[in-house]
Amino acid sequence: MKKLDHVDKQILQILQEDGRIPYTEIAHQLGVSEGTIRSRITRLLQDGVFQFVIHPDPAKLGLKVQAIIGLTTKLGLQKSVAEELSKFSAVRFVGAFSGKHDLIIQACFHSNDELITFVNERLSQIEGIAAADVSLELKQYKDSFSFVPDDEVTLQ
């Protein structure tokens, strides 16, 4: 149960703009030594607070069709359905929810054709899916899992 202080949050903020900015540069921006940045980041990584990753642009990879699909699953099969769905590389998000749909997923496709094939061929072969409610993405306004909350934060 450790708190993220202002420096930690500033580090996260800077890294979400450019995950490969040198520690020396962050140190310079924040007015501390490189060693401090290094030990802070090492600790944040160890605590699982964040990971260094890349954010590909699906459209640039030819995945022009994105969809959010709400699924109704048969009782008792939700978990196995979720795990099956997670295996697809086209599927980038899978979550269990309360509300209209038991599972909600987000996936990317090259074409409408590929999407409809996914729904008709792939989903239908997964045991436990009762219904699928497809929403086709028309325009994306924001997509970032880089968000640092504004207020004080306590580690879990």
Which residues make up the interface to DNA (CB under 7 A)?
7, 22-25, 32-36, 38-40
**Between 108 and 123, whose beta carbon lies closer to a copy of itself?**
108
Cβ within 8 Å of residue 56, ≥6 positions away: none
Between the CA of residue 48 and those of 14, 15, 23, 31, what are the distances in Å?
18, 15, 19, 25
Beta strand pairing call for 3-4 and 103-109: unpaired
> What minimum distance in Å lies between the beta carbon of 59 and DNA?
21
Least distance (Å) between residue 124 CB and a copy of itself: 19
97 binds, among a copy of itself, DNA, none (CB under 5 to 8 A by kind): a copy of itself
Which residues contact residue 93 at a Cβ distance below 8 angstroms, ignoring those fewer than 6 apart?
A: 104, 105, 106
Enclosing H/E stretch for 40? helix 34-46
Q: Would you say 25 or 83 has its CB closer to a copy of itself?
A: 83
Single-letter residue type at 92: R
Q: Which does 89 bind (CB under 5 to 8 A by kind): DNA, a copy of itself, none?
A: a copy of itself
40 binds, among a copy of itself, DNA, none (CB under 5 to 8 A by kind): DNA
Instruction: Give the sign of the dihedral formed by CA 8, CA 10, CA 15, CA 16.
Output: positive
d(CA 147, CA 13) in angstroms, rounded, equals 8
Query: Residue 126 CB, nearest distance to DNA (Å)?
Result: 39
Per CB under 8 A, residues contacting a copy of itself are 4, 12, 15-16, 18-20, 47-64, 66, 68, 82-83, 85-86, 89-101, 104, 108, 110, 133-150, 153-156
